[in-house]
Amino acid sequence: MKNIYASIITVGDELLIGQTIDTNSAWIAQQLNQFGILIKHRIAVADLALDIINAINFECANSDLIIITGGLGPTNDDITKQTLCDYFQDTLVMNETVLAHNTLLFAKRNRPMIEANIAQAMVPSTCTVLYNNFGTAPGMLFEKEKKIFISLPGVPLEMKSILQDYGFDFVKQFFTTANVQHYSLSTAGRGESFIAVTLQNFEASLPSNIKLAYLPKLGTLTLRLTGLDVSTVEIENYFHQLQTLVLPYCYANEDISLPEAVYKLLLEKNKTWCTAESCTGGSIADAITNIKGSSSVFKGSIIAYSNEVKINVLGVAAHLIERHTATSELVAIEMASQVLKICKTDYSISITGNLEKTEQEEAFAWIAVCNKDSHKSIKVPLPYDRIKNKELAVNVALNFLRMFILE
Amino acid sequence: MKNIYASIITVGDELLIGQTIDTNSAWIAQQLNQFGILIKHRIAVADLALDIINAINFECANSDLIIITGGLGPTNDDITKQTLCDYFQDTLVMNETVLAHNTLLFAKRNRPMIEANIAQAMVPSTCTVLYNNFGTAPGMLFEKEKKIFISLPGVPLEMKSILQDYGFDFVKQFFTTANVQHYSLSTAGRGESFIAVTLQNFEASLPSNIKLAYLPKLGTLTLRLTGLDVSTVEIENYFHQLQTLVLPYCYANEDISLPEAVYKLLLEKNKTWCTAESCTGGSIADAITNIKGSSSVFKGSIIAYSNEVKINVLGVAAHLIERHTATSELVAIEMASQVLKICKTDYSISITGNLEKTEQEEAFAWIAVCNKDSHKSIKVPLPYDRIKNKELAVNVALNFLRMFILE
């Protein structure tokens, strides 16, 4: 089967001056990959007609599907729609459905509709309109010489909803793609190179239409098997082999974050937890409370960024800090044990350390976990910069708690 | 003066499957803009020789400077160096300086150097080597027909240091660019459209070689004046006008984040602060502790994600929660007042609310700030999703504290 290729053209000066980081392209690529369409190129161009047309012509030579985002706003610098209209030798006509939707939107927001806003409801006469439920610029789909061109607003929410509600269905019907199956699992505690050695023979045994991908983040590694036109039985067989090989490090048989896995585990066990954070300054609590529903298991935290708070609020003995330092194992254990009592939870995590290396030593953190009967502690070297070290420490701490609960 | 254009080509399959979000391009664009080089295109291609060469040829038609990142690792799928060597009809030779550097690096890390690692020290004979102080793949600079081509590793730290230490100097000497001056200030509390109306006449009065850019984030807006070949006196005159016009909303006469501005203000006043967070779950504390040195002003936080912690740890009266709900103004004020006493600081912020809308009401937060003598409170509507609402609430809270301190 012939591969289907897509190119993504992002239009907008803000992408070229470095003001905006392009997260749209990564999302579109992930979605298209899910149903077997490969990305050939991603290209960012300015709000200039010639640049947009040059990019479209360049991508037409490579790809079957051209997705263009951005440049559909109501202001003068937004020229994507007119450029596409010229490119397809078409004329703009009023789309009454879009106009009615936009009129309603303006009425709801209690804002007057000026001429430029009305013009947003005009579309090239030959395009298929992909309705925008969250904004005023509709998506537009064109067909030409067995290729599809989709123009979308650059606002992530609008772009995503247009593709999910209308665009992807059209694409799936139009192209015959390979049957793609993904099986993912998430690991923590071992780096990419360690896991790669563990999986060397397994990887060599894979047939050519099943690929293994390593998707590393700080402190976690997702492994993904992708099968092209394979039977479910066959790929599930390989996935079970993979699960067995990385069993000690696997925290979920799906691609989820560690905060989510810890949340699910505690929910399942009907247990609560809390944290006492020094060096991470609240990022463990922040990570867990990013998850909707986390309040059913996570009760709170004491961020003891100063010794006074460690002593007066957490109740760590001052002599312990004096004798062993605030970043010692014993202080970490005491922090975990105290916060467990203060917040009255089933489990707790504590963390104390230095996020940045000093003249004397490399950056590190002591992490402790406990319940009412026992505790465990671990020292973690932190080899990155301040911000990345925080992120790594959060994941190591969450995995440490996860393993402690499962013991 | 002729504009100098640059194109950025990022090489790597991980950028096309959506695994990695490209932050390198935005950084490079910002840096080049600083000294008057405009970005024509950014393009992402796979680790395929033909795709890399097609992209280079396409970009040569547009740009004077071609920056290529990625594909310089030691594994088989990294082919950028060989591709460039073929493109420039060159041959690879051993660079002894790079070899010595890499040998030392492997010795330090206590790892054996295999053949693929030694081969990383080989470079095309005609290129200028841009040394990599943080890794094993050197940068390479080629000149051809008055254009410059720079190949860099994709690892952000290595890419940045090579450009800062060697690449940018070369670029600045090679091209005659306009004299570019940037003057930035940071505002909070008013949206882009409000500020745009305020600045309508000012913007219209700017000469053609001074541009005003709006750089919005959630809850903050940076304004930047960029002058091309203008005198410092002239642009400073316009900058003073700008400062006067947005004075009530300006929190810094430079482009810095609100956490940094709050940190600097408290440091300057030699005051301390703490937080009591409910719905933001530690993100205010997380944001402030991302700043090196923040421990000198920030003492800690109580994350009261449950009512039990609000009552038992913060000491909020249970009847207050029962009568007014946990997300009420009075509870926010009580949280701020209690945490101030518990953490013994000069100032405190508290926040409580709902990050997601319910059937009954839109998402919102009550924020309170206090010192030993007085307090203030404010209700903030939160119109985005859970994660963005957290980010917005953090900035609104920090700006509220900043204004309270300055009153």
Closest by CA position to A195, among listed A224, A164, A161, A173: A224
Residue with tokens 């330092």: A325
Whether A300 sits inside 8 A of B302 (CB atoms) is yes
Interface test with A, best of B3, B13, B41, B226 (most A CBs within 10 A): B41
Amino acid at B151: S
pLDDT in tens, A268-300: 999 999 999 999 999 999 999 999 999 999 999
What's the gap in Å between the CA of A274 and the closest CA on chain B? 9
Q: What is the pLDDT of residue B1?
A: 60
d(CA B56, CA B147): 12
Residue B205 tokens read as 């009065």
Whether B299 sits inside 8 A of A282 (CB atoms) is no
Please list every residue in chain A whose beta carbon sits closer than 8 Å to the beta carbon of residue B26: 18-22
Please list every residue in chain A whose beta carbon sits closer than 8 Å to the beta carbon of residue B22: 21-22, 25-26
CA R_g for chain A: 27
Whether B19 sits inside 8 A of A305 (CB atoms) is no
Interface test with B, best of A108, A313, A355, A388 (most B CBs within 10 A): A313
Q: Is the dihedral of CA B276, B279, B284, B287 positive or negative?
A: positive
Give me the residue from B44, B275, B356 closest to A42, CB to CB.
B44
Closest-CA residue in chain A for B389? Answer: A290
Please list every residue in chain B whose beta carbon sits closer than 8 Å to the beta carbon of residue A285: 281-282, 285-286, 303, 305
Q: What is the pLDDT of residue B250?
A: 97
Encode burial over B113-146: b for 16+ CB neighbours within 10 A, e otherwise: beeebbebbbbbeebebbebeebbbbbbbbeeee
Q: Residues B90, B94, B96, CA angle at the centre, nearest 5°? A: 140
Closest-CA residue in chain A for B46? Answer: A40
Please list every residue in chain B whose beta carbon sits closer than 8 Å to the beta carbon of residue A163: none
Q: What is the pLDDT of residue A16?
A: 85
Please list every residue in chain A whose beta carbon sits closer than 8 Å to the beta carbon of residue B326: none
Whether A42 sits inside 8 A of B16 (CB atoms) is yes
What's the gap in Å between the CA of B29 and the closest CA on chain A? 5
Encode burial over B204-231: b for 16+ CB neighbours within 10 A, e otherwise: eebeeebeebbbbeebbbbbbbbbbebe
Give me the residue from A17, A28, A29 closest to B29, CB to CB.
A17
* 3-state secondary structure labels for all residues of chain A: CCCEEEEEEEECHHHHCCCCCCCHHHHHHHHHHHCCEEEEEEEEECCCHHHHHHHHHHHHCCCCEEEEECCCCCCCCCCHHHHHHHHCCCCEEECHHHHHHHHHHHHHCCCCCCHHHHHCCEEECCCEEECCCCCCCCEEEEEECCEEEEEECCCHHHHHHHHHHHHHHHHHHHCCCCCEEEEEEEEECCCHHHHHHHCHHHHHHCCCCEEEEEEEECCEEEEEEEEECCCHHHHHHHHHHHHHHCHHHEEECCCCCHHHHHHHHHHHHCCCEEEEECCCCCHHHHHHHCCCCHHHCEEEEEEECCHHHHHHCCCCCHHHHHHHCCCCHHHHHHHHHHHHHHHCCCEEEEEEEECCCCCCCCCEEEEEEECCCCEEEEEEECCCCHHHHHHHHHHHHHHHHHHHHHC
Residue A210 tokens read as 């099943």
Residue with tokens 């780096």: A191
pLDDT score of A109 more than 80: no
Give me the residue from A39, A55, A390 closest to B16, CB to CB.
A39
Pairing state of beta strands B4-11 and B65-69? Answer: parallel
**Helix boundaries (H) for B135-282:** 156-162, 168-174, 192-198, 200-205, 232-245, 258-269
Q: CB under 8 Å to A377, separation ≥6 — which residues?
A: A329, A332, A333, A366, A367, A368, A369
Percent of residues in chain B assigned helix, strand, coil, to nearest 5? 45, 25, 30
Count of all residues that appear for chain B in the document: 407
Amino acid at B58: F
What is the maximal distance between C-alpha atoms in chain A?
A: 81
What's the gap in Å between the CA of A125 and the closest CA on chain B? 30
Interface test with B, best of A8, A10, A24, A42 (most B CBs within 10 A): A42
Give me the residue from A28, A41, A300 closest to B45, CB to CB.
A41
Whether B17 sits inside 8 A of A29 (CB atoms) is yes
Closest-CA residue in chain B for A354? Answer: B292
Residue with the larger pLDDT of the pair A209 and A316: A316
Closest by CA position to B275, among listed B287, B257, B261, B265: B287
d(CA B22, CA A371): 42
Please list every residue in chain A whose beta carbon sits closer than 8 Å to the beta carbon of residue B27: 18
Give me the residue from B42, B344, B387 closest to A16, CB to CB.
B42
What's the gap in Å between the CA of A343 and the closest CA on chain B? 6
Q: What is the pLDDT of residue A383?
A: 87
d(CA B28, CA B8): 8
Please list every residue in chain B whose beta carbon sits closer than 8 Å to the beta carbon of residue A18: 25-31, 33, 39
Residue B86 tokens read as 């073929």
Compute, in degrees rounded to 10, the torsion defined by CA atoms A31, A35, A37, A43. -10
Residue with the larger pLDDT of the pair A267 and A212: A267
Whether A46 sits inside 8 A of B40 (CB atoms) is yes
d(CA A4, CA A209): 16
Amino acid at B77: D
Amino acid at B373: D
Amino acid at A360: Q
Closest-CA residue in chain A for B33? Answer: A17
Whether A302 sits inside 8 A of B306 (CB atoms) is no
**CB of A347 within 8 A of CB of A369?**
yes
Give me the residue from A28, A54, A300 closest to B306, CB to CB.
A300
Model pTM score: 0.87
Whether B305 sits inside 8 A of A299 (CB atoms) is yes
pLDDT in tens, A142-180: 999 999 999 999 989 899 999 999 999 999 999 988 788
Supply the mean pLDDT for chain A: 93
The stretch A129-134 carries a mean pLDDT of 94
Give me the residue from A43, A298, A390 closest to B43, CB to CB.
A43
pLDDT score of A202 more than 80: yes
Whether B33 sits inside 8 A of A18 (CB atoms) is yes
d(CA A127, CA B282): 48
Closest-CA residue in chain B for A13? Answer: B39
Closest by CA position to A338, among listed A319, A311, A364, A365: A311
Closest-CA residue in chain A for B47? Answer: A40
Using alpha carbons, list the distances in angstroms from residue A272 to A351, A369, A387, B87, B302.
18, 13, 28, 61, 17
Please list every residue in chain A whose beta carbon sits closer than 8 Å to the beta carbon of residue B58: 58
What's the gap in Å between the CA of B387 and the closest CA on chain A? 6
Q: Residues B112, B113, B117, CA angle at the centre, nearest 5°? A: 145
Closest by CA position to B329, among listed B283, B375, B383: B375
Q: B150: which strand partners? A: B67, B141
d(CA A138, CA A159): 10
Residue with tokens 């600079």: B141
**CB of A403 within 8 A of CB of A377?**
no
Interface test with B, best of A260, A296, A305 (most B CBs within 10 A): A305
Percentage of the residues of chain A whose pLDDT score is greater than 70: 100
Give me the residue from B19, B26, B31 closest to A21, CB to CB.
B26
The stretch A305-328 carries a mean pLDDT of 97
Whether B33 sits inside 8 A of A41 (CB atoms) is no
Give me the residue from A23, A305, A344 closest to B298, CB to CB.
A305
d(CA A214, CA A180): 18
Task: Write the ipTM.
Answer: 0.86
Please list every residue in chain B whose beta carbon sits closer than 8 Å to the beta carbon of residue A303: 275, 282, 285, 289, 300-303
DSSP state, B296? G
Give me the residue from B18, B284, B300 closest to A33, CB to CB.
B18
Residue A308 tokens read as 């006074």
Element containing residue B363 per DSSP (H, E): none
Whether A16 sits inside 8 A of B289 (CB atoms) is no
Q: What is the pLDDT of residue B108?
A: 79
**CB of B247 within 8 A of CB of B185?**
no
- Residue-by-residue pLDDT tens, chain B, 407 positions: 678 999 999 998 888 887 778 889 999 998 998 888 989 999 999 989 999 999 999 999 989 999 999 999 887 778 999 999 999 999 999 999 999 999 998 887 777 888 888 999 999 999 999 999 988 999 999 999 999 999 999 989 899 999 999 999 999 999 988 788 889 999 999 888 788 889 999 999 999 999 888 888 889 999 999 898 899 999 999 999 999 999 999 999 999 999 999 999 999 999 999 999 999 999 999 999 999 999 999 999 999 999 999 999 999 999 999 999 999 999 999 999 999 999 999 999 999 999 999 888 899 999 999 999 999 999 999 988 899 999 999 999 999 999 999 99
Closest-CA residue in chain B for A33? Answer: B17
- What are the φ and ψ backbone dihedral angles of B199, each rounded to 5 degrees? -100, 10
The stretch A341-360 carries a mean pLDDT of 95
Of these ranges, A29-38, A241-250, B76-85, the one predicted with the greatest mean pLDDT is: A241-250
Residue B278 tokens read as 């409910």
Whether A29 sits inside 8 A of B21 (CB atoms) is no
Please list every residue in chain A whose beta carbon sits closer than 8 Å to the beta carbon of residue B298: 281, 305-306
User: Which of A193-202, A303-312, A350-359, B334-343 comes out lowest in average pLDDT?
Assistant: A193-202
Residue with tokens 């054996």: B112
What's the gap in Å between the CA of A390 and the closest CA on chain B? 9
d(CA A36, CA A40): 13
Whether B281 sits inside 8 A of A303 (CB atoms) is no
d(CA A348, CA A354): 20
